Amino acid sequence: MSTYKHSVSLDESKCKGCTTCLKRCPTEAIRIRDGRAVISSVRCIDCGECIRVCPHKAKKAIHDSFSQLDQYKYKIALPAPSLYGQFDNLDDIGYVISGLLAIGFDDVFEVAIAAEIVSAYTRLYLNNPNVPKPVISSACPAIMRIISMNYPFLCDHVIPLLPPVDIAAKMARKKALEEHPELSNDDIGVFFISPCPAKVSYVKNGFSGEEKLIDHVISVRDAYFRLLEVMKVENTPNAATESGMVGIGWASTGGEATATFNHRYLAADGIENCIRVLEQIDNEDINNLDYVELNACNGGCVGGAMTVANPYIAQARLQNLKRYLPVSPNRPTGDTIPEDSMRNSALSYEPNARLAEDRTKAMQMLHDIEEICRALPGTDCGSCGAPTCTAFAEDIIKGETNADECTVIMRALFHDYLKQHEEKAAEEALKPLNYKKT
């Protein structure tokens, strides 16, 4: 796991060591050490929550840039449907597609097209009475990471379909090779325009288990600013969208789930809500459900940390854009799911919380952790650099920090010290704070 490549990272020069990201990280992956945030590679799920909340803009998503286009003879853009929701007053998706062609791409293959195909396969999969229900969507990589870390029994519930972006990459590559027989596979550069860092990590770590399908991942934000320069009302688009309501619906919460049509579904967003839903499914306490769509970001993919617009404003714009589109013009023929649209292997359980390989040692450590917890104030203030007192106790036992980092206990000790010593000594001790006795 140490080789896991993360998109979410820290700009050390901007980090003030405040506790904002520490407190908001859903997997407790952040610690403050020596006045700077440190992200645990093992725990981080690249959800991007810390990027959204950092008041100093010290958290960032690492992704590829437009300069990488030059490496390829033939460049294909795979715009996520969330991209369309970024533009104010846009009334025709054709502007975005023409814009992408104008800024240097040779072809544009909409991920929304592949999303409609995935929706059709999902409906086929749900019709099989033998699959473990509820079936969980495989679209959000942050959710996939959390399932593989914490929910071994839910791994089989995840639909074994490739997510739309992988299917789009396959289709786009195939189309390019068919239309341009002079091209070799290496001449083609496939660029995914992604709303979130989780998708960047998904691609960079080869999570699909496939041969490299996507070469680079660019942020929706970067694409937005590039496109603004060329998207002018007078530049009438020379291309049109080929996706329908279903495909574009995938950009926000519920779009994917409603595309199961007659199946009973649940659609949730926000990482904390998603974790609660997963817990309840794990406890077999949600019945009568066929399909579960979980989005780590509020609002769904439009809420990704690499977007520009507010997720709900983007959603309203998409609502307008898709109003006059056909429901789902992209439907696969046949009534079986082709092998090459499936994942090569099921999601695997990768536990990362184990304290020690040896059970007796782990028991002793856990006992000591609980003991320390009882001595800690329980304020979960974060000043020690850990998100909660329990996490702090765990860090102490793992040898990652020291008990005297607890500022609440140290303050109490300091007050005791002041009481016990002469006033002069107290004043001396408080000098650095410019303390004035009243």
Partner 1 sequence: MRVTNMSEAIRFHFDVDGENFSSAGEASVMVKKKLRQLGFSPDVMRRVSIAMYEGEINMVIHAHGGTADVIVGEDAIEIILADKGPGIPDINKAMQEGFSTASDNIRALGFGAGMGLPNMKKYTDYMQIDTEIGVGTTITMRVNY
292, β-bridge pairs: 136, 266
By C-beta, is 102 or 289 nearer to partner 1? 289
Q: Judged by CB under 8 A, does residue 366 bind partner 1?
A: yes
Length of the chain: 438
Does residue 314 contact residue 185 with C-beta atoms inside 8 Å?
no
Beta carbon of residue 359, minimum distance to partner 1 (angstroms, whole number): 6
Report the relative pairing of strands 36-39 and 59-61 from DSSP bridges: unpaired
**CB burial of residue 302 (10 Å; 0-12, 13-18, 19+):** buried
User: Which amino acid belongs to residue 292?
Assistant: V
Beta carbon of residue 391, minimum distance to partner 1 (angstroms, whole number): 11
x/- string (CB under 8 A) for partner 1, residues 153-192? x---------------------------------------
Phi-psi region of 289 (alpha: psi -120 to 50; beta: other; left: phi over 0): beta
By C-beta, is 363 or 425 nearer to partner 1? 363
By C-beta, is 340 or 370 nearer to partner 1? 370
**How many CB atoms are closer than 10 A to CB 420?**
9
Q: Which of these segments, 193-201, 232-240, 362-370, 405-413, binds partner 1 (CB under 8 A)?
A: 362-370
Phi-psi region of 204 (alpha: psi -120 to 50; beta: other; left: phi over 0): alpha
Q: Judged by CB under 8 A, does residue 362 bind partner 1?
A: yes
Beta carbon of residue 118, minimum distance to partner 1 (angstroms, whole number): 28
Tokens 């025709």, residue? 92
Beta carbon of residue 386, minimum distance to partner 1 (angstroms, whole number): 15
Within 13 A of 345's CA, how many CA atoms are on the CB side?
A: 8
By C-beta, is 90 or 289 nearer to partner 1? 289
Tokens 């490496």, residue? 71
Does residue 308 contact residue 95 with C-beta atoms inside 8 Å?
no
By C-beta, is 371 or 428 nearer to partner 1? 371
Beta carbon of residue 288, minimum distance to partner 1 (angstroms, whole number): 10
Beta carbon of residue 206, minimum distance to partner 1 (angstroms, whole number): 25
Beta carbon of residue 179, minimum distance to partner 1 (angstroms, whole number): 48
Restricted to residues 43-62, the positions that interact with partner 1 (CB under 8 A) are none
Restricted to residues 317-356, the positions that interact with partner 1 (CB under 8 A) are 349, 351, 353-356
Residue 118 CA to residue 163 CA, distance in Å, equals 7
By C-beta, is 67 or 287 nearer to partner 1? 287
Q: Which of these segments, 185-193, 250-258, 295-303, 365-373, binds partner 1 (CB under 8 A)?
A: 365-373
Beta carbon of residue 374, minimum distance to partner 1 (angstroms, whole number): 7
Restricted to residues 219-238, the positions that interact with partner 1 (CB under 8 A) are none
How many residues of this chain bind partner 1 (CB under 8 A)? 26
Beta carbon of residue 328, minimum distance to partner 1 (angstroms, whole number): 33
By C-beta, is 220 or 393 nearer to partner 1? 393
x/- string (CB under 8 A) for partner 1, residues 242-281? -------------------------------------xx-
User: Which amino acid belongs to residue 342?
Assistant: M
User: Which amino acid belongs to residue 265?
Assistant: Y
By C-beta, is 206 or 378 nearer to partner 1? 378
By C-beta, is 152 or 237 nearer to partner 1? 152
Q: Judged by CB under 8 A, does residue 400 bind partner 1?
A: no
Residue 78 CA to residue 243 CA, distance in Å, equals 13
By C-beta, is 27 or 208 nearer to partner 1? 27
CA-to-CA separations, 331 to 109, 147, 161, in angstroms, rounded? 16, 30, 16
Q: What are phi and psi of 278, to 5 degrees?
A: -60, -40
* Helix orientation angle between 359-375 and 389-397, rounded to the nearest 10 degrees: 130
What is the secondary structure of 317-342 as a DSSP string? HHHHHHTTS-S-----SSSS--GGGB
Of the candidates 187, 161, 185, the residue with the CA atom closest to the CA atom of residue 174: 185
What is the secondary structure of 249-272 as a DSSP string? HTTSTTHHHHTTTTS-EEEEESHH
CA-to-CA separations, 384 to 36, 37, 395, in angstroms, rounded? 12, 12, 10
By C-beta, is 371 or 404 nearer to partner 1? 371
Restricted to residues 102-161, the positions that interact with partner 1 (CB under 8 A) are 150, 152-153
x/- string (CB under 8 A) for partner 1, residues 279-298? xx-xxxx-x-----------
Per CB under 8 A, residues contacting partner 1 are: 150, 152-153, 279-280, 282-285, 287, 349, 351, 353-357, 359, 362-363, 366-367, 370-371, 373-374
